[in-house]
């Protein structure tokens, strides 16, 4: 692993595939021009705002999303992660899938979101992800990227389940990626502190690309794509407008924190 720049992209995706992919390409281009070698896109980067339409167009969205990720990775010669696009599954539902792609356009790792967001929020919004999404049934893997460190993958609501990240750290993860479309209501209180907790307890970098703003008349995302270091320090925050958070991932910082706070070696219950 070497020191390198990583980017967490922040988007306002809408129920328009072509518009979203054009926005994503602009932000990938921006990240690469600033020197990023690992670029991460948020959950629902290719389509967000109308769940019924997403399911109806799932095959088209899936094919376009995967082709886009592979094309962009090759074009810009970066490792690219697309967080959370629909892959058609049984029972007329989809799998919320994140994909990691190499600069050669080859698939490195995929993860099907396990924890589904079924909640009734005090602001009056109800979310029932399980109505259209099937839960994945496997814990995520890690990928040992030669120059970028050992990468661990998750998606959005997963961040509330620390056992998933402890699994990744036990497998050697050094960089945890959390692509998300966190709601505005929950995000204002929980988003940053949850990401900092996952970084601190696993002494890992956390890269969290995010959705922001209104996606339709009711759905609003929190924004604040973040990059957090292994001590819990926020290195970059994209704020509330579309853009990028970019920061250096440094192996010496991981080693330093793990010397100072060797909590991973002190685990009693494995």
C-alpha 1/C-alpha 204 separation (Å) is 14
Task: Find residue 180's DSSP bridge partners.
Answer: 210
Query: Distance of alpha carbon 98 from its chain centroid, rounded?
Result: 8
| Per-residue pLDDT, 196 | 98
Cβ(170)–Cβ(140) below 8 Å: no
Q: Provide the angle, in degrees to the nearest 10, between the axes of the packed helices 17-33 and 58-76.
A: 20
| Per-residue pLDDT, 131 | 93
Catalytic residues, by residue number, are 43, 113, 156
> CA-CA distances (angstroms) from residue 213 to 1, 20, 49?
35, 14, 11
Domain boundaries, the chain: 4-266
Q: What is the pLDDT along the chain (270 residues), one digit of tens a residue?
A: 999 999 999 999 999 999 999 999 999 999 999 999 999 999 999 999 888 899 999 999 999 999 999 999 999 999 999 999 999 998 899 999 999 999 999 999 999 999 999 999 888 788 999 999 999 999 999 999 989 999 999 999 999 999 999 999 999 999 999 999 999 999 999 999 999 999 999 999 999 999 999 998 888 999 999 999 999 999 999 999 999 999 999 999 999 999 999 999 999 987
Q: 3-state SS string over 132-173? A: CECCCCCCCCEEEECCCEEEEECCHHHHHCHHHHHHHHHCCC
Cβ(98)–Cβ(111) below 8 Å: yes
Other Cβ atoms closer than 10 A to 204: 27
Q: Is the pTM of this model over 0.95?
A: yes
| Per-residue pLDDT, 110 | 97
| Per-residue pLDDT, 190 | 98
Closest Cα partner for 176 from 146, 194, 202?
Answer: 202
| Per-residue pLDDT, 229 | 98
Query: Distance of alpha carbon 152 from its chain centroid, rounded?
Result: 10
Superfamily of domain 4-266: Carbon-nitrogen hydrolase (3.60.110.10)
């Amino acid at each position: 692993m070497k020191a390198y720049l990583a980017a967490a992209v922040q988007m306002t995706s809408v129920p328009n595939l072509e518009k979203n992919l054009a926005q994503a390409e602009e932000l990938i281009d921006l990240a690469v021009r600033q020197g990023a070698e690992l670029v991460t896109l948020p959950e629902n980067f290719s389509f967000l705002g109308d769940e019924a339409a997403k399911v109806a167009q799932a095959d088209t969205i899936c094919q376009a999303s995967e082709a886009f990720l592979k094309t962009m990775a090759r074009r810009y010669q970066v490792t690219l992660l697309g967080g959370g696009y629909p892959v058609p599954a049984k029972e007329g539902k989809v799998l919320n899938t994140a994909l990691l792609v190499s600069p050669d356009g080859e698939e490195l790792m995929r993860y099907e979101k396990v924890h589904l967001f079924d909640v009734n929020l005090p602001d009056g919004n109800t979310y029932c992800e399980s109505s259209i999404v099937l839960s994945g049934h496997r814990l995520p893997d890690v990928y040992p990227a030669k120059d970028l460190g050992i990468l661990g993958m998750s998606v959005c609501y997963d961040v509330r389940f620390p056992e998933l990240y402890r699994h990744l750290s036990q497998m050697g993860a050094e960089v945890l990626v959390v692509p998300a479309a966190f709601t505005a209501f929950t995000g204002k209180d929980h988003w940053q502190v949850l990401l900092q907790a996952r970084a601190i307890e696993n002494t890992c970098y956390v890269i969290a690309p995010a959705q922001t703003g209104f996606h339709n008349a009711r759905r609003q995302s929190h924004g604040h794509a973040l990059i957090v270091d292994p001590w819990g320090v926020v290195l970059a925050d994209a704020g509330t407008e579309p853009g990028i958070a970019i920061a250096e991932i440094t192996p010496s910082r991981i080693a330093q924190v793990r010397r100072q706070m060797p909590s991973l070696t002190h685990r009693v219950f494995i």
